Structure 1
């Protein structure tokens, strides 16, 4: 951190606490939703519970696009992050107060909205700290930022996971609220280190746009309300149907927004920026496939840990939610190594190659999961925890090839007119992947190990296809290949 801006510590610390709250709650969410009402849970069918978790994760990133717009046009990055943190804390408080299902759904909605305001904009602020720096140094900065994220994730998974499973679900949610509160305090106290980054919106609304915005917002709210009323009166309002509608939105919206940037607002994208935007579109698809698999840790993999894995370690039965902590712990160990590797390699290894490697490794992790499922002998045998450790190791290496690099890539490829919104677009790739994963996860109980094998092979095929177009992507992105040094 010594050779990086001091503002990185402020942003990484804030994100660390936000991820403590987010991943801590995520650790127990599927277990809470699937637990019987008599055990303090929601009593949902496991297939519905995994779909709800997947759609909750998808919506948490879906809101990143309007969150980026709010920063771009209204508040600027800095204030939008602050508002988002407050909304997230209120969401966790709603989950913690244990006053019935309505407060659970309200809490999840508030966390989704707050995450959309905070997540893309704090990541964009990291990019602003490295204005004028080399791509390699920016990648290294994002890797260190990512290490802070995973430190918070690990703490949240262990702390909230244990309290939620072993004490009370709502005590776990309360700890998540406290984590976000600490993050807000840290963010306010560290403002001076940001040196004005994100203070002003890049493209503030002009005269007349505010009234049009209010009319559009009012019409959208009225349409949603009317749709809900109609669904309630016709008997079609159900948790499953809501997830289907949200999945459709998660796929349609990014397609529509690419059309908006490429066609409707074509004049706002310069000739130099347009090839980079095309490269971003292909990497968007690769990212969606990756997250479709990776984020199933919160649903099918956690239920696999609870039902089919021997969780005894040194005579102690660990909570099933703790298995999710393998990933952030490994990121903490490996992130610094990857930061050094990317710095050493510089521009010799392009973004496209990193994404291809990520897809191949993440796909292979699900092939391993199919072997683990076969080892349960139809669910009659509990398998070793080492199966899940191996799966998460492969996914962690894949994540470090894609996620921090993806954040850095987005800040580099973003057209100036859509800078914060493009960070939101990167998170929409996670939305699309999580939403599709939420629905296909319903097939896991039916397909068994074949489910993991099918998705794993799909990801590996996509990774192999991406390898064939690495050179083309480098050209579109304007990445200049650095010649390897001559041998001594």
Structure 2
């Protein structure tokens, strides 16, 4: 997309009307609020639904298997952003990608709300994976489009947008967690209703508030490319279908081999993305330099999300089996702990947004903010090993320890996630804007693909070792990143 087209899109969006920000931020804020309400409501109870006994309304899967499935599911959700980013960049633009993705997510949650067997469960997961891949990276890309590249409100705007995400994520586990013991399927139905409201909000306000944002196709397919793409997709479906049909009866495609495959793809796909964008003739020299700067940020993001995303796996199980759920006179649902992360973000995001604007040119650089994020993430895991150190692994843990771990990790998240979203829109090559946002979400995909391997090593008996090794590795990487930050800034070519 040329600078002229970028400015034309910005000029089409009313630039005031939502807390001093472009009016389109209102539409994107509430669209993502309802989508995250839907997603996190479902995710808050999903792991319990998998490993609870059938007599308690669950599927009765082995707990270790359920934790690994949860990680693989999370990885595939973000990995599917490749498809969503490519379709937005080359076929129908980000606005349509958001709309189509929302429909698929809603259908997936409706499928979960209908009692069924394990096969039906996996079908609903496929719908949600594809739908989130279409919606998640592209709604963030539209946020980047409503600001000019030199607009100082940009980072603060992403922080406000991020607060909307977490407002939905905070409310939904409280509601869905409350009905979990009555019916898991009722909880999934509530998630479907949330996605419906998100679609309604987007359709009703996008024309007036977003202008041309999301309508541009920056790198459209030519007629010849369209024909070739359809043929290749059809061939790929046939080949993959044939391989699966042959591998399952032969015992080659097992759950373990599938985890290994996703783990390999989690590393290979982002590597291939970097290579393709770097070598593309549509990428100029300045953009290539910025892509080099993006690599250490991507690696740091993988380390951070490997810790943060265990809030829905290891820490969810920890809340269910290792934590005092009768506390201060009332019973706590284990799903409610999923609301702690967004609650702390809602509380602290305005503080961080104000702080970055207040500091102006004196604020830490992007690499320095990432190094702080890794430091806090590592500390959050070191904190959660202390209860076992002081009280042993057999006694139940005061829930305040778990709350403290979530709080420390959130401090890191606010240094990385909204900053990373903003940095991605700044460092992205113009011809790959939506796909670069997909690349950002691939850091979470890679992290969760790795998590699918390492969660299998967790047990109550070795939890001190588990949390200590991972937390320590994050702190070491934080120090390294801080030391090389000036070098990274040089490759960013003026982006700060």
Task: Return closer, same or farther for 1:480/1:317 CA change in 2, 3 Å cut-off.
Answer: same
Q: Aligned ranges for residues 35-50 of structure 1 at < 5 Å?
A: 35-50=52-67
Q: 2:234 aligns with which of 199, 206, 218?
A: 218
Give the total of aligned pairs.
Answer: 476
Q: 1:410 aligns with which of 406, 424, 436?
A: 424
Contact in 1 for aligned 2:37/2:168 (Cα 8 Å):
yes
Cα distance in 2 for partners of 1:456, 1:373 equals: 15
> In the alignment, is residue 147 of structure 1 matched against residue 163 of structure 2?
yes
- Equivalent residue for 1:209? 225
Q: 1:336 aligns with which of 345, 350, 363?
A: 350
- Equivalent residue for 1:107? 124
Q: 1:422 aligns with which of 413, 436, 453?
A: 436
CA deviation map 1:401-423 (0-9, x unaligned): 00000000000000001011000
Cα distance in 1 for partners of 2:79, 2:334 equals: 28
- Equivalent residue for 1:235? 251
Task: Return closer, same or farther for 1:143/1:42 CA change in 2, 3 Å cut-off.
Answer: same
- Equivalent residue for 2:93? 76
- Equivalent residue for 1:485? none
Cα distance in 1 for partners of 2:42, 2:323 equals: 22
Cα distance in 2 for partners of 1:163, 1:238 equals: 34
TM-score, L = length of structure 2: 0.94
Q: Aligned ranges for residues 192-207 of structure 1 at < 5 Å?
A: 192-207=208-223
RMSD: 1.3
Contact in 2 for aligned 1:82/1:184 (Cα 8 Å):
yes
Contact in 2 for aligned 1:350/1:479 (Cα 8 Å):
no
Contact in 1 for aligned 2:286/2:493 (Cα 8 Å):
no
- Equivalent residue for 2:138? 121
> In the alignment, is residue 298 of structure 1 matched against residue 312 of structure 2?
yes
Cα distance in 2 for partners of 1:132, 1:460 equals: 33
- Equivalent residue for 1:354? 369
Q: 2:474 aligns with which of 454, 459, 462?
A: 459
Contact in 1 for aligned 2:376/2:412 (Cα 8 Å):
yes
Q: Aligned ranges for residues 15-414 of structure 1 at < 5 Å?
A: 15-134=32-151, 136-164=152-180, 166-191=181-206, 192-263=208-279, 265=280, 267-348=281-362, 349-378=364-393, 380-414=394-428
Cα distance in 1 for partners of 2:484, 2:153 equals: 25
CA deviation map 1:98-137 (0-9, x unaligned): 1211221011111110001001110000000102443x41
Cα distance in 1 for partners of 2:90, 2:304 equals: 31
Contact in 2 for aligned 1:120/1:427 (Cα 8 Å):
yes
Cα distance in 2 for partners of 1:185, 1:427 equals: 25
Q: Report the Cα offset of residue 316 of structure 1.
A: 1.1
Q: Report the Cα offset of residue 480 of structure 1.
A: 6.8
Task: Return closer, same or farther for 1:480/1:149 CA change in 2, 3 Å cut-off.
Answer: closer
Mark the runs of 5 or more structure 2 residues left unpaired by the alignment. Answer: 1-17
Q: 2:31 aligns with which of 11, 14, 17?
A: 14
Runs of 4+ in 1 over 6 A off after TM superposition: none
Alignment partner of 1:217: what SS?
helix
- Equivalent residue for 1:447? 462
Task: Return closer, same or farther for 1:37/1:227 CA change in 2, 3 Å cut-off.
Answer: farther
Cα distance in 1 for partners of 2:366, 2:176 equals: 35
Contact in 1 for aligned 2:263/2:450 (Cα 8 Å):
yes
More off after superposition, 364-373 vs 279-288: 364-373
